Amino acid sequence: MIGGIRELDIDWVRQQFPGLESGWAFFDNAGGTLPAVNVIDRVSEYMRRWPVQLGASYAVSQDATAGLERATRAVASLMDAGDGSNIDSSQIIWAASTSELLQRLARSISPQLQPGDEIVVTDTDHEANNSPWRRLAGHGIGVREWRLNQDTLRLEPDELEPLLNSRTRLVCVTQTSNVLGTILPLREVTRMVHSSGARICVDAVAYAPHRLPDVVGSDVDYYTFSLYKVFGPHVAVMYGKRAALAGLSNINHQFFADGDLPWSLMPGAYPYELGYATLGVMDYIEALSTHHGGTVDGAPLELAYSLIAGHETRLLAPLLDFLHERRGVTVYGERTADPELRLPTASFAVDGVPSSAIPSQLDPHRIGIRWGDFYAPRLIDALGLRERDGVVRVSLAHYNDAAEIERLITKLDEILP
């Protein structure tokens, strides 16, 4: 027991992920997690039982429509710190990826902007929350950049404040860097943004697998993440505050009007079987909670995520210790595994060795890690690592175990100079 919370039953957890049967140690989880068996079963269930279009009068179509509504309600619960009652279904937008969702959002917002209006982006975000907004500079919109502090390797809130003014309309941030693993103090930043009269758009892709989202408590305007990073299917969701969605322009067919939510922001159909399989994510999280003594009416998501955080912190600590102690290795991000400051992603570079040379040496040992810029090229440039092929990234998930960490450290000890 730690802090009154039982430790994660890792043997039970690993039984819920069929992909682990391969014998590989997967440490590329920030790029995409393994799907839980509940998710796989839900995909199959939908395609077997409801291979039809939504919205017709016949029973099978009605059942399919009801199933997708249940999935949307599950997403609302996950977004709303396990509650969901504060969010209606029209506030949840579906797409194949977060990149697609943010491209849509930018298209929908752009008609509301006037020349001279300003948007703030960062040099730390994934390009999903960068490129769509920076393109607006070609339409007379001012784009200002909140930059990584070179001393702390954080986005410092006091350095955002001078970028905000009466012309600021939107601030686009990541809740957690997918390279550094650093957690943004989102509530503080949101208060600052709202005080300037602007809205905030949050990319939570790297956050949601490890900490429970709380869009209502953090008072964000737009919030998005991909379910395939949260043990689920290859689909993504975006929440919008009612007032923030109300003014968006229709990007669907012309017979939809502005504000015909969610369809005015969902051109074409999304993969229904994958949307439905999102129920499997909630099935798994709730089962994780009940297996550890939680109850359905006793905040199961909070218990599950606390177990996840505790386990991942215990895995990350020895890895960080090893990397920090290794001569010639530089780790980027918070120095400790403090769960209030960072998530279980460790990115590093090695003096005299291109990052591209390291992961392939682990492949024969069935250990999967990755090198590169991870679609955050501006961050890699800010760190001065472009010529070194970016970073080596080890990104953990709660289904990793201590034996895998020991195996990784042992092999890194052998191959690092």
Together in a domain, 267 and 389: no
Give me the chain's average pLDDT, please. Answer: 96
Does residue 344 have a pLDDT over 80?
A: yes
Rounded to two decimals, what is the model's pTM? 0.96
What is the per-residue pLDDT across 55-84, written as a single tens digit (0 to 9) for each? Answer: 999 999 999 999 999 999 999 999 999 888
Mean pLDDT of 18-37: 98
Predicted local confidence at residue 3, as pLDDT: 42
* 289 in any annotated domain: no
> Based on the domain organization, do 224 and 310 belong to the same domain?
no
- Residue 298 pLDDT more than 70? no
Task: Let me know whether 257 and 355 are in one domain.
Answer: no
| Same domain? 220 vs 314 | no
- Give the CATH number for residue 28: 3.90.1150.10
- Kindly state whether residue 1 falls inside one of the protein's structural domains: no
Residue 128 has pLDDT above 80, yes or no: yes
How many domains does the structure of the chain reveal? 2
Shared-domain flag, residues 108 and 172: yes
Q: What is the 3-state secondary structure (H, E, C) of the chain?
A: CECCECCCCHHHHHHCCHHHHHCCEECECCCCCCCCHHHHHHHHHHHHHCCCCCCCCCHHHHHHHHHHHHHHHHHHHHHECCCCCCCCHHHEEEECCHHHHHHHHHHHHHHHCCCCCEEEEECCCCHHHCHHHHHHHHHCCEEEEECCECCCCECCHHHHHHHCCCCEEEEEEECECCCCCEECCHHHHHHHHHHCCCEEEEECCCCCCCCCCEHHHHCCCEEEEEHHHCCCCCCEEEEECHHHHHCCCCCCCCCCCCCCCCHHHCCCCCCHHHHHHHHHHHHHHHHHHHHCCCCCCCCHHHHHHHHHHHHHHHHHHHHHHHHHHCCCEEEECCCCCCCCCECCEEEEEECCECHHHCHHHHHHHCEECEEECCCCHHHHHHCCCHHHCCEEEEECCCCCCHHHHHHHHHHHHHHCC
Q: pLDDT above 90 covers what percent of the chain?
A: 95
300 versus 402: the higher-pLDDT residue is 402
Range of the domain at 247: 41-281
Residue 338: pLDDT above 50? yes
- Looking at the domain assignment, is residue 212 inside a domain? yes
Residues 76 and 216 in one domain: yes
Q: Is residue 265 in a domain?
A: yes
Whether 126 shows a pLDDT value over 90: the answer reads yes
Judge if 343 and 390 occupy the same domain. Answer: yes
8 assigned to some structural domain: no
Same domain, 235 and 336: no
Are 69 and 183 found together in one domain?
yes
Q: How confident is the model at residue 8 (pLDDT cuts 50, 70, 90)?
A: very high
Q: What is the CATH number of the domain that holds 90?
A: 3.40.640.10
Rounded mean pLDDT, 116-137 = 98
- Is the pLDDT score of 20 beyond 90? yes
Q: How confident is the model at residue 249 (pLDDT cuts 50, 70, 90)?
A: very high
Q: Is 4 a domain residue?
A: no
Considering the domain boundaries, does residue 294 fall inside one? no
Residues 62 and 143 grouped into a single domain: yes
pLDDT tens per residue, range 363-413:
999 999 999 999 999 999 999 999 999 999 999 999 999 999 999 999 999
- Is residue 15 one of the residues assigned to a domain? no
